[in-house]
Amino acid sequence: MKNALIFDIDGTLWDASARFAESWDLIASSSKYHFHITKEQIVPCLGMPMSEFPKRLFPPMEKEDADTLLKKSLDFENEYVVSHPGDVYEGVEETLTKLSKDYDLLILSNCQKGYIEAFLAATKLGHLFKGYICWGDNQFSKSQNMTLLMNKGGYEKGMYVGDTLYDEEETHKAGLKFSHATYGFGQSKNPDYVLKKFSDLVKAAEDAFSE
């Protein structure tokens, strides 16, 4: 039975923050509120559940308007990143290909439904992953969805690869090892492994699953 390596997307596998800002700004500027959204505003939101975005990115507005604008922004973002991909971090495809021979690779993100599929379509990496789940599927926390993935696959051991303190906290809550992608957008306090570059994950996985 293979063990599981579970991946965050943004700040871990690629950086699409500029593409997010472009797509969200196109929707925001064409709305009746005529406001703008920048990359500097988007980056601190990455990794949060999508329900948190309106209060951080939108000006004061009626809840119905905010809900409508959020849905339009998320739907358009999914379309936009397929034709305007983010920047995949160096060594990702090669390292994932190597890791897939020894571990089952999975994706878990706090993104909207359809975003993981858009990421896989844009990067052509779908053949390397055994499955995925996101916040948009069930509105569960990352720790809850980690447990779902582990139970569904019948895995004995697992490790989550992410870039934020929230990722670390949720991973340890689920009882898994955490590898911190230091090249991403966030910080970490007590990671089990530190990745200065994505390819460092090969050694981290070997150490984690040999214990």
181: enclosing H helix or E strand: strand 177-181
Using one digit for the tens of pLDDT, what is the confidence trace for 164-199? 999 999 999 999 999 999 999 999 999 999 999 999
Q: What is the largest CA-CA distance in the chain?
A: 57
d(CA 8, CA 70): 22
d(CA 207, CA 177): 11
Q: What is the mean pLDDT of residues 79-88?
A: 97
Is pTM beyond 0.85? Reply is yes
Q: pLDDT band at 1, cuts 50/70/90?
A: confident
- Predicted confidence at residue 210, as pLDDT, reads 92
Q: What is the mean pLDDT of residues 98-102?
A: 97
d(CA 73, CA 89): 25
SS3 28: helix
9: nearest Cα among 132, 168, 128: 132
Query: Would you say residue 110 has pLDDT above 80?
Result: yes
pLDDT over 70 for what percent of the chain?
A: 100
CA 192 vs CA 20, 28, 35: distances in Å: 30, 40, 42
CA 126 vs CA 99, 148, 150, 190: distances in Å: 14, 20, 19, 31
Using one digit for the tens of pLDDT, what is the confidence trace for 115-153? 999 999 999 999 999 999 999 999 999 999 999 999 999
Query: Would you say residue 211 has pLDDT above 80?
Result: no
Determine the angle formed by the axes of helices 165-173 and 142-153, rounding to 10 degrees: 50
- Predicted confidence at residue 7, as pLDDT, reads 98
Using one digit for the tens of pLDDT, what is the confidence trace for 33-77? 999 999 999 999 998 888 899 999 999 999 999 999 999 999 999
d(CA 24, CA 26): 5
